[in-house]
Amino acid sequence: MKLLVVIVSYRVAQLAIDCLHSVAKEIGSVPGIRVAICENGSGDGSAEVFQREIEDNGWSSWCTLKVLDVNLGFTGGNNAILRPALEATDKPQYFLLLNSDTIVRPNSLKALVDFMDNNPKVGIAGSRLEDPDGTPQRSAFRFQTPLGEFEGNLKLELVTKLLSRWVVAPPVVDYAFETEWVSGASMIIRRETMETTGLLDEGYYTYFDDIDYCFNAKKRGWPTWYVPSSHVVHLVGQSTGVNNKPKRLPSYLLEARRRHFLKNYGALYAAMVDICRIAGLSLWRLRVILTGKEDTTPPQLLSDSIRHSVFLKGFKVTDVQNPALPS
């Protein structure tokens, strides 16, 4: 098998079906493409909808469905497909993690596969994500640092210029380049990279798993690249309910953030990141109060960031609580 496309769906069956229809048009672009959908414990009849769609459209030769009883998050849902695929006789050469809230543009899958074929030392590559009208989204990133957290939360142009080397989401460019991490909304992973790095860390549940994966793959000698010739529409946050509109962030996102820094950088670094984040948010709140500037941050972000910081939650690396399971 050349490429296994993995799509995880939780209560967004219609979005996932739209995604499938876009993928169906690309099946012939690369010989050996297969698609696996994980119905991630929605409990709303989505499994039957998917099965009917597969049968009615004649997709059964290249598309399979796995149904979970409980929502295992992005990590667990993907691993439910990835684990048996890695143990199969016909192992995929590449895995593509594709969000259910995406639409692949023509030749987007071929562009990723061609890039990986031509660059055998690259472990991971990400698509250019964009809005439905083609406006590019920032989808090639730097790892978060204390200064990056301060800049990102303060949102002051002068500070951004001074700290440009640490901006987490630099401006979009039109050429392929090595980056530190790419969005898991459309991320291709080489089989050898997954064999040495392992599966997704299910301790994250959802969020920060893509950052963690690129971080640990790089430690094992597998760099990540951004491939803008692969265009994928991303309906931001539709698959999780967290999008660009100001909305209070779920606790599992903030807990995943804390886990990432403690697990990968240690207690001192995690403390520095939290201090800089809280300082940046505090100064932002002061600007809003003094100038009447519109507050574009999610509600209660400052208090939630303090509540989920290492100073109140502790310095032990813990798994993020799956909200679908009893505490």
Q: What DSSP line would sit under 128-194, residue for residue?
A: EEE-TTSPBPP-EEPPP-HHHHHHHHH--HHHHHHTGGG-SSPPP-SS-EEESEE-TTEEEEEHHHH
Q: Which CATH architecture has domain 3-137+172-234?
A: Alpha-Beta Complex (3.90)
pLDDT at position 327 is: 64
Asked if 278 and 306 count as a contact pair (C-beta separation under 8 A), the reply is yes
Q: How far is residue 227's CA from residue 6's CA, in Å, rounded to a whole number? A: 19
pLDDT at position 135 is: 97
Domain boundaries, the chain: 3-137+172-234, 149-165+245-318
Q: How far is residue 256's CA from residue 251's CA, in Å, rounded to a whole number? A: 8
Q: What DSSP line would sit under 47-77, residue for residue?
A: HHHHHHHHHHTT-TTTEEEEEESS--HHHHH
Question: Bigger pLDDT: 241 or 84?
Answer: 84
pLDDT, tens digit, for every residue of 165-221? Answer: 999 999 999 999 999 999 999 999 999 999 999 999 999 999 999 999 999 999 999
Percentage with pLDDT > 90 across the chain: 94
Give the CA dihedral 226, 118, 30, 129, nearest 10 degrees.
10
Check pLDDT > 80 for residue 25: yes
pLDDT at position 125 is: 98
pLDDT, tens digit, for every residue of 221-237? Answer: 999 999 999 999 999 85
pLDDT at position 325 is: 82
What are all long-range contacts of 288-297, with beta carbons under 8 Å and residues at least 24 apart?
295/246, 296/155, 296/246, 297/153, 297/246
Report pTM.
0.95
pLDDT at position 238 is: 56
pLDDT, tens digit, for every residue of 244-272? Answer: 567 899 999 999 999 999 999 999 999 99
List CB contacts of 274: < 8 A, sequence separation 6 or more.
Answer: 261, 305, 309, 310, 311
Check pLDDT > 80 for residue 319: yes
What are all long-range contacts of 238-244, with beta carbons under 8 Å and residues at least 24 apart?
238/12, 238/15, 238/101, 239/9, 239/10, 239/12, 239/15, 239/99, 239/100, 239/101, 240/74, 240/206, 240/207
φ, ψ of residue 218 in degrees (nearest 5): -65, -40
pLDDT at position 252 is: 96
Mean model confidence pLDDT for the chain: 95
Q: How far is residue 208's CA from residue 256's CA, in Å, rounded to a whole number? A: 6
Percentage with pLDDT > 70 across the chain: 97
Q: Is 90 helix (H, G, I), strand (E, B) or coil?
A: coil
φ, ψ of residue 4 in degrees (nearest 5): -110, 115
